[in-house]
Structure 1
Amino acid sequence: MGHMDNKSSIQTRSPSSTFSAAVLSSAISNVVGFPLDSIKVRQQTYQFPTIRSCFQNAIQHEGFRGLYRGFTLPLISATLSRSVSFTLYESFKYSFENTPPSARYFLSGLGTGSVISLFACPFEYSKLYSQLHALIRKQELQKNISKDYKSSQRPLSSFHSASDIVRRYGFSSLWNGYRYHLARDAFGSACYFTIYETIKGFLISNQITPSFAYAFSGAFCGALSWILVFPIDTAKSIIQKNTLLSVKTPLSSIPWLSFSIYRGIGISLVRSALINSCNFTLFEALRDASFFQ
């Protein structure tokens, strides 16, 4: 995003350069961060006492490849959504160019997250299905038959997960839990871009090296925005998991005021800080590179 608060600087950066840089930076950062996301989802939806126990359980029963289960669709989705997100964000900023900076960042992020959530939800739901498939299968078998679940459960790819969801529950079920996804993405994006732009601008105005400003601001905005929206994300994961198990989830059953709503927050903060530090540093550098102009 760089220095884009005045109209002339905004015009020097085309949507194509923004999109191209975001594609590459997002793809790299998602490869780095996906195993941490897999651990986060498992902690949110099952009672693992620590990150270590969750990690050991996944490795023991599914192997290291299990941490990348469901990776293909999220890689496509996250890369595409991040690229479109950054491009949309810049477009929204044009519309709010006469608005005070903080309001411009917040409103632009809010609009961006709302649009992105519509097509990102099916991809993320399929990812969650892939990540939890082994645990769900084990739970189903324990309820019905005494059988070694490791030998009977078939690992599902992202594409198989999506088709299996449609086959078992119908096409519209790909948007199960959408209102929570919308709330998380809209509010989360608003906080995310506002925090990033504000911290980055402050650091650069105080003569901090741009590359450090991008990395620190990316890590900070990623971590803080996750803290703010994590309860919504946990509710979304619980509701989507219970839907797969044909269990109804009243809002009153969500532990909104309990610390358990933040189960998995530790790994999420590490993941988000790492991904966004990497992503923004690469994005800012690539978009200013001559071959993206």
Structure 2
Amino acid sequence: MSGANGKAEAKGSIVGGGSAMREFMTAQACGVAYGASYTLVSHPFDTIKTKMQAQAGFSSGGTMSAIRTVMAKEGFGGLWKGLWPPMVGSILSRSVCFSAYAGPYAAMKGTPMEQEIPGTGGLQWRVLAGGLTSALARTVFETPLELIKVRKQTGQTFRWNELFKGSATTFLRTWGLMGSFFVMLDYSARYIPEVINAPLAGPFFKGGVIATAAWWLCWPFETIKSQVQAAQSVKGQADVGWMKLARDIIHEKGIVGLYRGIAPGTYRSLLGNGVGMLIFTKLQEELNKI
């Protein structure tokens, strides 16, 4: 990262000061640890979020109402339905998205991409480029696993030829998520390093607060993605295009309808990303000693 004066500075950053290959491999290993811990602590909230967005019978009522319904019909195990696809997906996507950011970011050191974007207060072009490569890589790995997870969580089946259904909305969601996450992280590392570098609060701020803010920015595409990947929309329609789904949601419920499931999604993000980043940071510190 860079300091307020624009000089390179690794402390508090997702990317250290090593070579592109070293940073790529470090981020990949740390991403595996992040992905596993994230899923273990956040999956019940993800199940509730997905049901509220994409399953008939959960299209009204709040988070607690959805939890009570799941517990009454499926028991405690219902909250963990569809765990393994997102576990595998989270491990793959986090290792891929962090390494796909860290490797190119480090490789662009000393190139024109390290130059600051005018009028942005020090943001470098390579932050945006790294965010794009991260989003592309994560979309390829995550789309089929997300579809399987959504179908299992909503009690629906899937066909193998559907695995990349929803890839467009997954990319739009992921580009908004990863791009805004890395940009906010870059600004935070440069302007509030005392927060970012705090031993315990720092990782939770990076993972929990910044990642959750990024989720809020791209949440409409998360809602649409869940409905696109479900075998049927909450209205019982099959194979509805994402733009029509968006129009229908806005027409019936207004913009607020695109934020369906934001409460359990926020709990999931704060807890899962907070714990995940804490594990990521600790492992990164140990690997950087080698």
Scaled by the length of structure 1, what TM-score is found? 0.79
2:259 match: 262
1:99 match: 115
1:110 match: 132
Whole-angstrom CA distance in 2 between matches of 1:121 and 1:60: 31
What amino acid is the match of 2:214? Answer: S
The reply on whether 1:131 has 2:147 as its aligned counterpart is: no
SS of the equivalent of 2:163 reads helix
With over 3 angstroms needed to count, the CA separation of the structure-2 counterparts of 1:123 and 1:8, relative to structure 1, is closer
Shift of residue 175, structure 1, vs aligned partner: 1.0
Q: Runs of 5+ in structure 1 lacking a partner?
A: 137-163
Scaled by the length of structure 2, what TM-score is found? 0.80
1:37 match: 46
Whole-angstrom CA distance in 1 between matches of 2:180 and 2:204: 17
- Residues 187 and 229, structure 1, Cα contact 8 Å, conserved in 2: yes
Whole-angstrom CA distance in 2 between matches of 1:207 and 1:94: 20
The reply on whether 1:278 has 2:285 as its aligned counterpart is: no
For residues 196-275 of structure 1, the aligned pairs below 5 Å read: 196-204=185-193, 209-243=198-232, 247-250=238-241, 251-254=243-246, 255-256=249-250, 257-275=254-272
Q: Which moved more, 1:28-37 or 1:189-198?
A: 189-198
Shift of residue 217, structure 1, vs aligned partner: 2.3
- Residues 181 and 236, structure 1, Cα contact 8 Å, conserved in 2: yes
The reply on whether 1:178 has 2:151 as its aligned counterpart is: no
SS of the equivalent of 1:10 reads coil
Whole-angstrom CA distance in 2 between matches of 1:271 and 1:222: 11
SS of the equivalent of 1:165 reads coil
1:11 match: 19
With over 3 angstroms needed to count, the CA separation of the structure-2 counterparts of 1:37 and 1:292, relative to structure 1, is farther
- Residues 218 and 280, structure 1, Cα contact 8 Å, conserved in 2: yes
Structure 1 outlier segments of 4+, above 6 Å: none
What amino acid is the match of 1:227? Answer: W
1:78 match: 90
- Residues 102 and 198, structure 1, Cα contact 8 Å, conserved in 2: no
After superposition, the CA RMSD in angstroms is: 2.6
What amino acid is the match of 1:40? Answer: K
With over 3 angstroms needed to count, the CA separation of the structure-2 counterparts of 1:8 and 1:90, relative to structure 1, is closer
Whole-angstrom CA distance in 2 between matches of 1:102 and 1:279: 26
Whole-angstrom CA distance in 2 between matches of 1:287 and 1:226: 24
What amino acid is the match of 1:192? Answer: F
With over 3 angstroms needed to count, the CA separation of the structure-2 counterparts of 1:290 and 1:180, relative to structure 1, is closer
What amino acid is the match of 1:230? Answer: W
Shift of residue 224, structure 1, vs aligned partner: 0.9
What amino acid is the match of 1:107? Answer: A
- Residues 196 and 202, structure 2, Cα contact 8 Å, conserved in 1: no
- Residues 180 and 235, structure 1, Cα contact 8 Å, conserved in 2: yes
With over 3 angstroms needed to count, the CA separation of the structure-2 counterparts of 1:273 and 1:280, relative to structure 1, is same
- Residues 24 and 99, structure 2, Cα contact 8 Å, conserved in 1: yes
Q: What number of residue pairs does the alignment pair up?
A: 259
1:142-191 alpha-carbon deviations (Å, 9 max, x no partner):
xxxxxxxxxxxxxxxxxxxxxx522xxxx331111111011111221111
